[in-house]
Amino acid sequence: MLELYYYENSICAERALMALGEKRIDDWVPHHIDLFKREQFDPAYLKLNPKAQVPTLVHDGEVIRESSIICDYLDDLRDEHPLKPNNRTHAAQMQEWITEADAGGFEGVAALSFVAVFRAKLMAMSEADRSAYWAGQTDVARTQRQQSCVFDGLDSPYAIRAIAAWERMFGNIDRALEDGRPWLMGEAFTLAEVNLAPFVARLDGLRMLPVWLDDRPRALAWWRRVQARPSYAEARVGPSAGEAETYAAEGVKAVDGLRRRRDDYVKRYG
């Protein structure tokens, strides 16, 4: 039996959901974990995922954690509709994209989301309520990132790192497509796209993509192709219907400042 524990608006869970769609796997059992109801801290779930994170995959009683690992596992589960190149060298090169997304993409999107969407909400709380919000978290690094973004906004070093990470990522994407290939690894859609898509979708939902893609038409066309995949719609990638309007409205407010900082970064570092 294949079971997936996920939250519908989690960018990491969207990776796993998109992989399931690409692999045409439909015989799996969904377990929705509502993060805002703090269901990730339920003792039974903590036994599956001590970090209190989603997604978690359980296959015949065996637990697989971390979204990129789950996607790789799902690809190996069935030979049909492969998401990895057959060539070992190309498979290793594909892994570079995933590693880059894991290293900078998630933190970058999380930082910009907090700066744009959650900062005002948390700053409006009392100090006691803010402390309670962070008290249950199990990842000190995540808490420090969130607090820096809330208190310092776009001046947070995490926001600057986010700008640098996505400038590098989108530059690499645009250069990879210079030879006319449709996907990052060539003619085939792979785990490189699956693992990047939810992160880019969050930037899109925040209306921040033009900051990086206005002058990168190849990368923009690639993103439109990703969005056209059936798995993208099936996984409901991007901010949920209930939150999309808020993400867009709050993200737009931060775009001008974000663009200035991105331009400053490019002038300084090229």
* 83 belongs to a structural domain: no
Average pLDDT of span 212-233: 97
The answer to whether position 82 is within a domain reads no
172 and 43 part of one domain: no
Whether the bond into 230 is cis, omega within 30 of 0 = no
Closest of 150, 148, 164 to residue 264, by C-alpha: 164
Q: Is residue 206 part of a domain?
A: yes
Q: Give the pLDDT band (50/70/90) at residue 145.
A: confident
Total domains in the chain come to 2
The residue from 21, 44, 77 where one domain ends is 77
Of the candidates 77, 99, 118, which is a domain's last residue? 77
CATH assignment of the domain containing 96: 1.20.1050.10
pLDDT single digits (tens) 231-244: 999 999 998 867 88
Domain that residue 41 falls in: 2-77
For residues 10 and 132, membership in a common domain is answered with no
What pLDDT, in 10s, does the model give residues 61-118? 999 999 999 999 999 999 999 999 999 999 999 999 999 999 888 889 989 998 998 8
- Residue 101 · residue 169 · CB < 8 Å: yes
Residue, of 6 and 126, whose pLDDT is higher: 6
Where residue 141 falls among pLDDT bands split at 50, 70, 90?
confident
Query: Would strands 62-65 and 56-59 be described as parallel, antiparallel, or unpaired?
Result: antiparallel
Single pTM value for the model:
0.91
pLDDT of residue 143 exceeding 90, the answer is: no
What is the share, in percent, of the chain residues with pLDDT greater than 90? 73
- pLDDT per position as a tens digit, 18-59: 999 999 999 999 999 998 788 998 999 999 999 889 999 999
Are residues 45 and 139 located together in one domain of the fold?
no
pLDDT of residue 241: 67
| Residue 121 scores a pLDDT above 80 | no
Between CA 41 and CA 88 the distance in angstroms is 40
**Mean pLDDT computed over every residue of the chain:** 92
- Same domain as 246, residue 150: yes
* Domain-terminating residue out of 35, 50, 77: 77
Read off the CATH number of the domain in which 29 is found: 3.40.30.10
Q: Annotate the chain with DSSP letters as a single string.
A: -EEEEE-TT-HHHHHHHHHHHHTT---EEEEE--GGGTGGG-HHHHHH-TT--S-EEEETTEEEESHHHHHHHHHHH-SSS--S-SSHHHHHHHHHHHHHIIIIIHHHHHHHHIIIIIHHHHHTS-HHHHHHHHHT-S-HHHHHHHHHHHHHGGGSHHHHHHHHHHHHHHHHHHHHTTT--SBTTBSS--HHHHHHHHHHHHHHHTT-HHHHHTT-HHHHHHHHHHHTSHHHHHTT-SS-HHHHHHHHHHHHHHHHHHHHHHHHHHHHH-
Residue 136 has pLDDT above 80, yes or no: no
CA distance 29 to 50: 21
Q: Are residues 18 and 46 in the same domain?
A: yes
